[in-house]
Copies of this chain bind each other. A is one copy, B any other.
Amino acid sequence: MSHNTLGHLFRVTTWGESHGPAIGCVVDGCPPRIPLAEAEIQSFLDKRRPGTSRFTTQRQEPDAVRILSGVFPDPDSGEQVTTGAPISLVIDNLDQRSKDYSDIKDKFRPGHADITYDAKYGLRDYRGGGRSSARETAMRVAAGAIARKIIPGVTIRGALVQIGARAIERANWDWAETARNPFFCPDPRAAADWEDYLDEIRRAGSSIGAVVEVTASGVPAGWGAPVYGKLDQDLAGAMMGINAAKGVEIGAGFAAAALSGEENADEIRMGPEGPVFLSNNAGGILGGISSGQDIVVRFAVKPTSSILSPRRTIDRHGKETEISTRGRHDPCVGIRAVPVGEAMMAIVLADHYLRHRAQTGA
Protein backbone atom coordinates (compact mmCIF):
# COMPACT_ATOMS: atom_id res chain seq x y z
CA MET A 1 0.00 0.00 0.00
CA SER A 2 2.85 2.28 0.82
CA HIS A 3 3.38 4.92 -1.82
CA ASN A 4 7.13 4.57 -1.60
CA THR A 5 7.42 0.82 -1.34
CA LEU A 6 7.68 -1.64 -4.22
CA GLY A 7 7.01 -5.35 -3.85
CA HIS A 8 5.16 -7.59 -1.45
CA LEU A 9 7.61 -10.11 0.00
CA PHE A 10 10.81 -8.66 -1.42
CA ARG A 11 10.10 -5.07 -0.47
CA VAL A 12 11.99 -1.96 -1.46
CA THR A 13 11.20 1.33 0.29
CA THR A 14 13.07 4.33 -1.10
CA TRP A 15 13.45 7.82 0.34
CA GLY A 16 15.25 11.03 -0.43
CA GLU A 17 15.22 14.04 -2.70
CA SER A 18 17.53 15.04 -5.51
CA HIS A 19 19.19 17.81 -3.55
CA GLY A 20 18.68 16.65 0.03
CA PRO A 21 21.60 15.34 2.10
CA ALA A 22 21.22 11.75 0.87
CA ILE A 23 19.01 9.19 -0.81
CA GLY A 24 18.44 5.67 0.43
CA CYS A 25 16.34 2.58 0.60
CA VAL A 26 15.37 -0.23 2.91
CA VAL A 27 15.19 -3.71 1.42
CA ASP A 28 13.07 -6.00 3.55
CA GLY A 29 12.19 -9.67 3.20
CA CYS A 30 15.55 -10.76 1.81
CA PRO A 31 16.31 -14.43 2.55
CA PRO A 32 19.13 -14.98 5.05
CA ARG A 33 22.70 -16.18 4.37
CA ILE A 34 23.01 -14.66 0.92
CA PRO A 35 26.52 -13.27 0.35
CA LEU A 36 26.29 -9.51 -0.15
CA ALA A 37 29.05 -6.94 -0.49
CA GLU A 38 28.86 -3.24 -1.24
CA ALA A 39 31.02 -3.74 -4.32
CA GLU A 40 28.39 -5.95 -5.96
CA ILE A 41 25.77 -3.26 -5.59
CA GLN A 42 28.23 -0.60 -6.70
CA SER A 43 28.91 -2.29 -10.03
CA PHE A 44 25.28 -1.86 -11.05
CA LEU A 45 25.14 1.72 -9.76
CA ASP A 46 28.15 2.55 -11.90
CA LYS A 47 26.15 1.64 -15.02
CA ARG A 48 23.44 4.16 -14.14
CA ARG A 49 25.73 6.83 -12.73
CA PRO A 50 25.37 10.29 -14.29
CA GLY A 51 28.21 11.98 -16.08
CA THR A 52 29.74 8.89 -17.68
CA SER A 53 29.31 10.20 -21.22
CA ARG A 54 28.33 13.44 -22.88
CA PHE A 55 24.89 11.97 -23.51
CA THR A 56 23.81 11.97 -19.86
CA THR A 57 23.54 14.72 -17.29
CA GLN A 58 26.88 16.25 -16.31
CA ARG A 59 26.08 16.15 -12.60
CA GLN A 60 29.09 14.54 -10.89
CA GLU A 61 28.07 11.94 -8.35
CA PRO A 62 30.27 8.98 -7.40
CA ASP A 63 27.09 7.34 -6.06
CA ALA A 64 29.07 5.36 -3.51
CA VAL A 65 26.64 3.10 -1.68
CA ARG A 66 26.95 2.10 1.98
CA ILE A 67 25.20 -0.86 3.65
CA LEU A 68 24.08 0.22 7.13
CA SER A 69 22.24 -2.88 8.36
CA GLY A 70 21.10 -6.40 7.63
CA VAL A 71 24.46 -8.05 6.94
CA PHE A 72 26.84 -9.95 9.21
CA PRO A 73 29.69 -12.40 8.85
CA ASP A 74 28.45 -15.94 8.30
CA PRO A 75 29.35 -17.94 11.43
CA ASP A 76 30.77 -20.74 9.32
CA SER A 77 32.40 -19.08 6.31
CA GLY A 78 33.12 -15.64 7.77
CA GLU A 79 31.84 -14.11 4.54
CA GLN A 80 29.47 -11.16 4.86
CA VAL A 81 25.92 -12.41 4.31
CA THR A 82 22.37 -11.18 4.72
CA THR A 83 20.79 -11.86 8.12
CA GLY A 84 17.13 -11.72 7.13
CA ALA A 85 16.86 -8.28 8.78
CA PRO A 86 16.15 -5.15 6.72
CA ILE A 87 19.05 -3.92 4.60
CA SER A 88 19.52 -0.16 4.71
CA LEU A 89 21.40 1.41 1.81
CA VAL A 90 22.48 5.05 1.64
CA ILE A 91 24.10 7.23 -1.01
CA ASP A 92 25.15 10.72 -0.06
CA ASN A 93 24.28 13.54 -2.43
CA LEU A 94 27.51 15.39 -3.13
CA ASP A 95 27.12 17.51 -6.27
CA GLN A 96 24.13 19.58 -5.19
CA ARG A 97 25.39 22.48 -7.25
CA SER A 98 24.39 25.65 -5.46
CA LYS A 99 22.38 27.65 -7.90
CA ASP A 100 19.66 30.19 -8.25
CA TYR A 101 16.30 28.44 -8.20
CA SER A 102 14.28 31.64 -8.53
CA ASP A 103 13.07 30.72 -12.01
CA ILE A 104 11.96 27.14 -11.40
CA LYS A 105 10.79 27.74 -7.83
CA ASP A 106 7.41 29.12 -8.78
CA LYS A 107 6.98 28.11 -12.42
CA PHE A 108 5.74 24.74 -13.64
CA ARG A 109 7.72 23.06 -16.43
CA PRO A 110 5.28 21.75 -19.08
CA GLY A 111 5.40 17.96 -19.16
CA HIS A 112 6.90 17.84 -15.68
CA ALA A 113 5.53 16.76 -12.30
CA ASP A 114 5.94 20.31 -10.92
CA ILE A 115 2.30 21.21 -11.33
CA THR A 116 0.82 17.96 -10.05
CA TYR A 117 3.00 17.80 -6.92
CA ASP A 118 1.91 21.33 -6.16
CA ALA A 119 -1.75 20.45 -6.74
CA LYS A 120 -1.56 17.41 -4.49
CA TYR A 121 0.62 18.56 -1.63
CA GLY A 122 0.43 22.35 -1.73
CA LEU A 123 4.21 22.53 -1.98
CA ARG A 124 7.18 20.80 -3.58
CA ASP A 125 10.92 20.50 -3.11
CA TYR A 126 11.80 22.22 -6.37
CA ARG A 127 15.57 21.73 -6.11
CA GLY A 128 16.48 19.42 -8.97
CA GLY A 129 12.99 17.97 -9.05
CA GLY A 130 13.06 16.89 -5.42
CA ARG A 131 11.36 13.54 -4.97
CA SER A 132 10.28 13.36 -8.63
CA SER A 133 13.89 13.46 -9.82
CA ALA A 134 15.29 10.47 -11.70
CA ARG A 135 17.91 10.45 -8.96
CA GLU A 136 15.54 8.25 -6.99
CA THR A 137 16.13 5.49 -9.53
CA ALA A 138 19.65 5.03 -8.19
CA MET A 139 18.08 3.21 -5.25
CA ARG A 140 16.06 1.02 -7.58
CA VAL A 141 19.28 -0.04 -9.22
CA ALA A 142 20.87 -0.69 -5.81
CA ALA A 143 17.89 -2.76 -4.67
CA GLY A 144 17.85 -4.54 -8.01
CA ALA A 145 21.41 -5.67 -7.40
CA ILE A 146 20.24 -7.40 -4.22
CA ALA A 147 17.23 -8.85 -6.02
CA ARG A 148 19.48 -10.49 -8.59
CA LYS A 149 21.31 -12.31 -5.82
CA ILE A 150 18.22 -14.15 -4.65
CA ILE A 151 17.31 -15.44 -8.12
CA PRO A 152 20.75 -16.60 -9.15
CA GLY A 153 19.71 -18.73 -12.15
CA VAL A 154 18.08 -15.77 -13.88
CA THR A 155 19.96 -13.52 -16.33
CA ILE A 156 18.52 -10.03 -16.77
CA ARG A 157 19.71 -7.81 -19.59
CA GLY A 158 18.50 -4.50 -20.98
CA ALA A 159 19.07 -2.59 -24.19
CA LEU A 160 18.04 0.64 -25.87
CA VAL A 161 16.24 -0.34 -29.07
CA GLN A 162 14.98 3.02 -30.31
CA ILE A 163 15.87 6.73 -29.98
CA GLY A 164 13.39 9.11 -31.51
CA ALA A 165 12.07 7.39 -34.62
CA ARG A 166 15.34 5.52 -35.14
CA ALA A 167 14.98 1.88 -34.19
CA ILE A 168 17.69 -0.77 -34.24
CA GLU A 169 17.87 -3.58 -36.77
CA ARG A 170 16.90 -6.71 -34.83
CA ALA A 171 19.06 -8.79 -37.17
CA ASN A 172 22.11 -6.95 -35.84
CA TRP A 173 21.37 -7.75 -32.20
CA ASP A 174 24.48 -8.53 -30.19
CA TRP A 175 24.25 -8.36 -26.39
CA ALA A 176 27.99 -7.84 -26.09
CA GLU A 177 27.61 -4.64 -28.06
CA THR A 178 25.57 -3.02 -25.28
CA ALA A 179 28.75 -2.65 -23.22
CA ARG A 180 30.68 -0.99 -26.05
CA ASN A 181 28.67 2.16 -26.69
CA PRO A 182 27.24 4.86 -24.41
CA PHE A 183 23.65 3.91 -25.30
CA PHE A 184 23.39 0.26 -24.17
CA CYS A 185 22.57 -0.31 -27.84
CA PRO A 186 22.79 -3.91 -29.10
CA ASP A 187 23.15 -2.85 -32.76
CA PRO A 188 26.56 -1.31 -33.57
CA ARG A 189 25.29 0.45 -36.67
CA ALA A 190 22.41 2.07 -34.83
CA ALA A 191 24.78 3.13 -32.06
CA ALA A 192 27.00 4.94 -34.55
CA ASP A 193 24.00 6.66 -36.07
CA TRP A 194 22.62 7.70 -32.68
CA GLU A 195 25.90 9.32 -31.69
CA ASP A 196 25.56 12.06 -34.30
CA TYR A 197 21.81 12.29 -33.91
CA LEU A 198 21.92 12.77 -30.17
CA ASP A 199 24.82 15.20 -30.34
CA GLU A 200 22.67 17.44 -32.46
CA ILE A 201 19.76 17.24 -30.02
CA ARG A 202 22.05 17.84 -27.08
CA ARG A 203 23.63 20.91 -28.65
CA ALA A 204 20.21 22.31 -29.44
CA GLY A 205 19.23 22.02 -25.78
CA SER A 206 16.44 19.71 -26.84
CA SER A 207 15.56 16.16 -25.83
CA ILE A 208 14.14 13.02 -27.37
CA GLY A 209 12.20 9.88 -26.36
CA ALA A 210 13.32 6.26 -26.57
CA VAL A 211 12.32 2.61 -26.19
CA VAL A 212 14.02 0.21 -23.77
CA GLU A 213 13.83 -3.58 -23.95
CA VAL A 214 14.56 -5.83 -20.97
CA THR A 215 14.69 -9.61 -21.03
CA ALA A 216 14.99 -12.22 -18.32
CA SER A 217 16.31 -15.66 -19.22
CA GLY A 218 16.24 -18.68 -16.96
CA VAL A 219 12.97 -17.93 -15.19
CA PRO A 220 11.37 -21.32 -14.52
CA ALA A 221 7.73 -21.96 -15.44
CA GLY A 222 5.31 -21.17 -12.64
CA TRP A 223 6.18 -17.71 -11.29
CA GLY A 224 3.31 -15.23 -11.14
CA ALA A 225 -0.28 -15.84 -10.11
CA PRO A 226 -3.81 -15.32 -11.30
CA VAL A 227 -5.72 -13.11 -11.37
CA TYR A 228 -4.46 -9.91 -9.74
CA GLY A 229 -1.01 -11.20 -8.93
CA LYS A 230 -0.06 -11.68 -12.55
CA LEU A 231 3.59 -11.43 -13.41
CA ASP A 232 2.84 -9.27 -16.46
CA GLN A 233 0.55 -7.04 -14.38
CA ASP A 234 3.34 -6.37 -11.91
CA LEU A 235 5.96 -5.93 -14.63
CA ALA A 236 3.73 -3.48 -16.48
CA GLY A 237 3.19 -1.48 -13.31
CA ALA A 238 6.86 -1.51 -12.41
CA MET A 239 8.02 -0.36 -15.83
CA MET A 240 5.29 2.28 -16.16
CA GLY A 241 6.40 3.52 -12.75
CA ILE A 242 9.84 4.41 -14.09
CA ASN A 243 10.22 8.16 -14.56
CA ALA A 244 9.05 9.31 -18.00
CA ALA A 245 7.61 5.92 -19.04
CA LYS A 246 4.44 6.21 -21.15
CA GLY A 247 3.97 2.68 -22.53
CA VAL A 248 4.76 -0.94 -21.72
CA GLU A 249 4.41 -4.08 -23.78
CA ILE A 250 5.21 -7.74 -23.31
CA GLY A 251 6.20 -10.17 -26.05
CA ALA A 252 4.47 -9.20 -29.29
CA GLY A 253 2.86 -6.33 -27.38
CA PHE A 254 0.82 -3.87 -29.43
CA ALA A 255 1.68 -5.83 -32.56
CA ALA A 256 -0.45 -8.67 -31.16
CA ALA A 257 -3.53 -6.59 -31.96
CA ALA A 258 -2.91 -7.25 -35.65
CA LEU A 259 -2.28 -10.99 -35.30
CA SER A 260 -4.69 -13.81 -35.95
CA GLY A 261 -5.08 -16.63 -33.47
CA GLU A 262 -3.06 -18.88 -35.76
CA GLU A 263 -0.18 -16.41 -35.98
CA ASN A 264 -0.16 -15.62 -32.30
CA ALA A 265 -0.19 -19.16 -30.94
CA ASP A 266 3.28 -20.16 -29.74
CA GLU A 267 3.22 -23.82 -30.68
CA ILE A 268 4.78 -26.31 -28.29
CA ARG A 269 7.06 -29.27 -28.86
CA MET A 270 8.89 -31.48 -26.40
CA GLY A 271 12.60 -30.94 -25.92
CA PRO A 272 15.08 -32.92 -23.87
CA GLU A 273 14.59 -30.65 -20.84
CA GLY A 274 10.89 -30.03 -21.13
CA PRO A 275 8.47 -28.04 -23.28
CA VAL A 276 9.94 -26.03 -26.17
CA PHE A 277 7.99 -23.16 -27.73
CA LEU A 278 8.37 -22.49 -31.44
CA SER A 279 7.89 -18.73 -31.05
CA ASN A 280 7.56 -16.24 -28.18
CA ASN A 281 4.71 -13.88 -28.91
CA ALA A 282 3.68 -14.37 -25.30
CA GLY A 283 6.92 -12.82 -24.06
CA GLY A 284 7.32 -15.69 -21.63
CA ILE A 285 4.06 -15.17 -19.73
CA LEU A 286 0.72 -16.97 -20.16
CA GLY A 287 -2.23 -16.32 -17.86
CA GLY A 288 0.01 -14.16 -15.69
CA ILE A 289 2.40 -17.06 -15.04
CA SER A 290 5.88 -17.57 -16.49
CA SER A 291 6.12 -20.28 -19.15
CA GLY A 292 9.85 -20.91 -18.93
CA GLN A 293 10.57 -18.90 -22.07
CA ASP A 294 12.50 -15.63 -21.99
CA ILE A 295 10.47 -12.83 -20.45
CA VAL A 296 10.55 -9.87 -22.84
CA VAL A 297 9.34 -6.40 -21.83
CA ARG A 298 9.62 -3.09 -23.67
CA PHE A 299 8.80 0.36 -22.39
CA ALA A 300 8.69 3.75 -24.05
CA VAL A 301 10.05 6.86 -22.33
CA LYS A 302 9.11 10.36 -23.31
CA PRO A 303 11.70 13.12 -23.86
CA THR A 304 12.73 14.96 -20.72
CA SER A 305 10.74 18.12 -20.11
CA SER A 306 13.82 20.17 -19.23
CA ILE A 307 14.63 21.90 -22.52
CA LEU A 308 16.16 25.16 -23.62
CA SER A 309 13.36 26.43 -25.90
CA PRO A 310 10.92 28.58 -23.99
CA ARG A 311 7.50 27.01 -23.44
CA ARG A 312 4.31 28.68 -22.33
CA THR A 313 3.29 27.87 -18.79
CA ILE A 314 1.88 29.30 -15.53
CA ASP A 315 3.35 29.81 -12.08
CA ARG A 316 2.00 28.58 -8.76
CA HIS A 317 0.02 31.79 -8.33
CA GLY A 318 -1.85 31.10 -11.59
CA LYS A 319 -0.03 33.74 -13.60
CA GLU A 320 0.78 33.01 -17.26
CA THR A 321 4.47 33.03 -18.10
CA GLU A 322 7.20 31.22 -20.06
CA ILE A 323 9.95 28.85 -18.99
CA SER A 324 13.15 27.46 -20.43
CA THR A 325 15.40 25.13 -18.46
CA ARG A 326 19.14 25.60 -18.42
CA GLY A 327 20.98 23.40 -15.92
CA ARG A 328 22.25 19.86 -16.32
CA HIS A 329 19.97 17.26 -17.77
CA ASP A 330 19.83 14.16 -19.93
CA PRO A 331 19.11 14.77 -23.63
CA CYS A 332 17.67 11.24 -23.70
CA VAL A 333 16.58 9.83 -20.35
CA GLY A 334 16.02 6.52 -22.08
CA ILE A 335 19.74 5.74 -21.88
CA ARG A 336 19.95 5.67 -18.11
CA ALA A 337 16.55 4.01 -18.00
CA VAL A 338 18.17 0.80 -19.24
CA PRO A 339 19.80 -0.23 -15.94
CA VAL A 340 16.69 1.02 -14.14
CA GLY A 341 14.49 -1.25 -16.28
CA GLU A 342 16.79 -4.17 -15.53
CA ALA A 343 16.51 -3.40 -11.81
CA MET A 344 12.72 -3.29 -11.95
CA MET A 345 12.68 -6.65 -13.71
CA ALA A 346 14.95 -8.08 -11.00
CA ILE A 347 12.86 -6.70 -8.16
CA VAL A 348 9.57 -7.95 -9.61
CA LEU A 349 11.02 -11.39 -10.29
CA ALA A 350 12.58 -11.70 -6.85
CA ASP A 351 9.26 -10.77 -5.28
CA HIS A 352 7.38 -13.31 -7.37
CA TYR A 353 9.95 -15.97 -6.67
CA LEU A 354 9.29 -15.59 -2.94
CA ARG A 355 5.53 -15.46 -3.50
CA HIS A 356 5.69 -18.62 -5.58
CA ARG A 357 7.80 -20.34 -2.94
CA ALA A 358 5.32 -19.32 -0.24
CA GLN A 359 2.32 -20.84 -1.96
CA THR A 360 3.85 -23.90 -3.58
CA GLY A 361 7.00 -24.64 -1.60
CA ALA A 362 8.93 -24.81 -4.86
User: Which chain B residue has the least Cβ–Cβ distance from A256?
Assistant: B302
Given known contacts A20-B69, A269-B314, A246 and B253 CB-to-CB distance under 8 angstroms: yes
Q: In angstroms, how far is the closest chain B Cβ from the Cβ of A321?
A: 9
5 contacts between A and B (CB under 8 A): A209-B259, A232-B240, A248-B249, A270-B318, A358-B358
**CA–CA, A206 and B259, complex, Å:** 11
CA distance A267 to B274 in the complex (A): 53
Interface centre among A130, A247, A291, A314 (most CB of B within 10 A): A247
A301 contacts the other chain (CB 8 A): yes
- Contact at A68–B2, with CB atoms within 8 Å? no
**Whole-angstrom distance between the alpha carbons of A320 and B274 in the complex?**
11
18 more CB-based (< 8 A) A-B contacts, given A4-B228, A115-B291: A1-B9, A13-B28, A85-B130, A110-B265, A112-B286, A116-B285, A132-B226, A132-B287, A206-B260, A233-B238, A236-B237, A246-B256, A247-B254, A255-B300, A261-B304, A261-B309, A263-B303, A268-B312
Provide the bound-state CA to CA distance between A123 and B31, in Å. Answer: 12
Residues of chain B within 8 A of A229, CB atoms compared: 1-4
Say whether A283 faces chain B, with CB atoms less than 8 Å apart: yes
Q: CB-CB contacts of A84-103 with B at 8 A, as 1s and 0s?
A: 11111000000000000000
User: If A226-B131, A234-B237 touch, does A33 touch B122 (CB 8 Å cutoff)?
Assistant: yes
Docked-complex contact B359 and A29, CB < 8 angstroms: yes
Chain B residues near A23 (CB-CB < 8 A):
69
A258 at the interface (CB under 8 A from B): yes
Q: How many residues of chain A are within 8 Å of chain B by beta carbon?
A: 157
A262: which B residues are within 8 A, CB to CB? 206, 307, 309, 311
A115 to B267, CA, bound (A): 12
Kindly provide the distance from the CB of A56 to the nearest chain B CB, expressed in whole angstroms: 15
A153 interface residue per 8 A CB criterion: no
